Structure 1
Amino acid sequence: MNDLRIRAAAPEDLDAVLAFWKTAAEGTSISDDRAGVERLIARDPEALILAERDGELVGTVIAGFDGWRCHLYRLAVDPVRRRQGIGSALLTAAEERFVRLGGRRGDAMVLARNETAHHAWRAAGYTPEEHWRRWVKPLVE
């Protein structure tokens, strides 16, 4: 896995990231547009972590820390490159970032219907907390 490069996204990566998510990420979010991702990296330049192999984007994770909680979003790996340690490498990078920032526990947004993702998250040591529910309110239409 020596050829895997993990790094923070830069503004010039955003179009490639958005295109990547269309094939590698399950589901969409209200923030899955250029303006949303630009705001993310403008506020926290190290939050969007990329994995590259031979210069090609092969995985992403958003590791957001608000000073209180460590949030993981958009763990996505190229479907033809899954089960090669890319997701694990991304989560390790995210967790190391959280520890450096003083974070104590990571939480992940994982679609209930995405069984493939459930296996990956469990393998990384994450467990669902069934006693919690996510409550949402769109702030824009």
Structure 2
Amino acid sequence: MTTIRTATLADVEAILTFWVAAAEGTDRRDDPAKVVALIERDPEALLVYELDGAIAGTVIAGWDGWRAHLYRLAVAPEHRRKGIARQLIAAAEKRFKAFGAFRVDAMVLNDNTDAHPAWSGTGYTRQEQWGRWVRHL
């Protein structure tokens, strides 16, 4: 049985464990308090794909009132190439459309070439004219 649902506070540790195995090239020290804060601030932002009661995929569908952003699209290695990413992206886009969003961006690591087909296969294109600028606090 499969389902896509929003994460709950009870999921935090399982999600962090899942990301260690499934989220490629993360540059963050995953802190449970930050995931808790995300869920408390926006309870519908973190989507979980469950397969037979286990986490098989996630995506963060962040909405700041102006722009729609996708982060942490991750699928368990043993469940890749089965349409899970496509379903998670579609669920996130449905959330954004309800807010009236007309465009969504996705944070995708350049070197994570395994992820690029999932994004291009769902109609996303890389914007060469934009670059991401960051500053660590």
Q: Same fold (TM over 0.5)?
A: yes
Aligned AA (2:40):
A
Question: 2:88 is matched with which residue: 87, 90, 96?
Answer: 90
Instruction: Kindly tell me the number of residue pairs found equivalent between the two proteins.
Output: 137
> Is 1:117 aligned with 2:136?
no
Q: Structure 1: which 4+ aligned runs deviate by more than 2 Å?
A: 29-32
1:29 offset after TM fit, Å? 3.6
Corresponding residue for 1:37?
Answer: 35
Question: 1:130 is matched with which residue: 124, 128, 131?
Answer: 128
Q: Deviations over 1:28-61 (max 9, x none)?
A: 2436220111111111000000000110100000
Corresponding residue for 2:100?
Answer: 102
Check conservation: 2:39, 2:45, Cα contact below 8 A.
Answer: yes
- Cα distance in structure 2, aligned partners of 1:41 and 1:31: 18
Equivalent residue runs for 1:36-55 within 5 Å: 36-55=34-53
Q: Deviations over 1:7-44 (max 9, x none)?
A: 00000000000000001001224362201111111110
Check conservation: 1:6, 1:52, Cα contact below 8 A.
Answer: yes
Secondary structure at the residue paired with 1:115?
coil
Check conservation: 1:63, 1:73, Cα contact below 8 A.
Answer: yes
Unaligned runs of 5+ in 2: none
Corresponding residue for 1:20?
Answer: 18
Check conservation: 1:70, 1:106, Cα contact below 8 A.
Answer: yes
Unaligned runs of 5+ in 1: none
1:93 offset after TM fit, Å? 0.4
**RMSD of the TM alignment (CA)?**
0.9
- Cα distance in structure 1, aligned partners of 2:29 and 2:136: 11
